[in-house]
Amino acid sequence: MRRSFFLCVCAGVLCAVPEARAELQVGAAVRVITPDPLLPVSGGMGKPNPVREKRGDLTARALVLRKGEVTVAVVALDVIGFPSVLGDRVRKQVGRIPAENILIGSTHTHSAPDCYAFPDGKGGHTGDLAYIDSVCNKAAEAVNEAVDRLRPARIKVATGEARGKIAYNYYAPDLYDRRMSVIRAVDPQGKTIATLVNYAIHPEVLGNSVGILSPTASAYQTRCRDRTWVRKSVLIMQEVIFPRRLSLAG
């Protein structure tokens, strides 16, 4: 997911409306997608590792923006990746937003179950199909609830440098984009409706071999910001800076 794409989305929402004075509306909703019981977690190709506990919940977070006739949804999932075929399954369950206006990304946590259904080398795969189905259903639920929760809003946008070592790549510790872009939607009283964070990290700090299921970086950022104004409505969108094949291998 590229930063320029987000800007295009915002530009589309803010500008591509027939009535120049149409009111902007924003809604947000969250669904927990932590498997119960817990499932092994995947850091990419290879056998997923069993876990004994969870540190935080995995979530599907949806942000919906509407202005005039244009409605756009952004969905962030705490999984390592989410193939387009699953994205289309989510889109089919959201009748009130055109499919092409529903953007779905993942936080690329290395500490969640496999949603790619990676090949296991024996003719099968390492995904749990019932779990994958539940993630699709809950993601769609979150988008539909976010539509129901649309209310008047203003948008604030900023980009800055993220300091501190949140990102980590074992083969290139210094290789990441320090810029963090934030889109924050507030209601007319100034109360935060949702915050969209676009940050190019590779959340490998925890890893997938320590017996822990976790949203990792997503949880870290949410917890930090909880003290001020973000609360539960923060969406972390990942912008992995490597070619796709390398990000999967990492």
Interacting residue ranges for Zn ion, rule: CB under 5 A: 250
Work out how close the CB of 250 gets to Zn ion at its nearest, in angstroms, rounded to a whole number: 4
> Side chain identity at 211, as an amino acid letter?
G
Helix 84-92 with 129-148: angle, nearest 10 deg: 50
* DSSP letter, residue 91: H
Work out how close the CB of 81 gets to Zn ion at its nearest, in angstroms, rounded to a whole number: 9
Work out how close the CB of 203 gets to Zn ion at its nearest, in angstroms, rounded to a whole number: 8
Cβ distance 183 to 28 under 8 Å?
no
Residue of this chain nearest to Zn ion (CB atom): 250
Tell me the C-alpha to C-alpha distance, in Å, between residue 132 and each of 43, 77, 143, 179.
16, 12, 17, 32
Work out how close the CB of 211 gets to Zn ion at its nearest, in angstroms, rounded to a whole number: 19
Work out how close the CB of 109 gets to Zn ion at its nearest, in angstroms, rounded to a whole number: 9
Q: Residue 152 or 173: which CB sits closer to Zn ion?
A: 173
Q: How many angstroms separate the CA atoms of 136 and 124, rounded?
A: 21
Q: Residue 26 or 201: which CB sits closer to Zn ion?
A: 201
The SS3 call for residue 160 is strand
Work out how close the CB of 242 gets to Zn ion at its nearest, in angstroms, rounded to a whole number: 9
Q: Residue 42 or 144: which CB sits closer to Zn ion?
A: 42
CA atoms within 13 A on the CB side of 26: 24
Q: Residue 144 or 238: which CB sits closer to Zn ion?
A: 238
Q: Pseudo-torsion of CA 230, 233, 234, 238, nearest 10°?
A: 180
Q: How many angstroms separate the CA atoms of 130 and 143, rounded?
A: 20
Q: How many angstroms separate the CA atoms of 31 and 137, rounded?
A: 10
> Side chain identity at 194, as an amino acid letter?
A
Q: Residue 48 or 250: which CB sits closer to Zn ion?
A: 250
Q: Residue 22 or 246: which CB sits closer to Zn ion?
A: 246
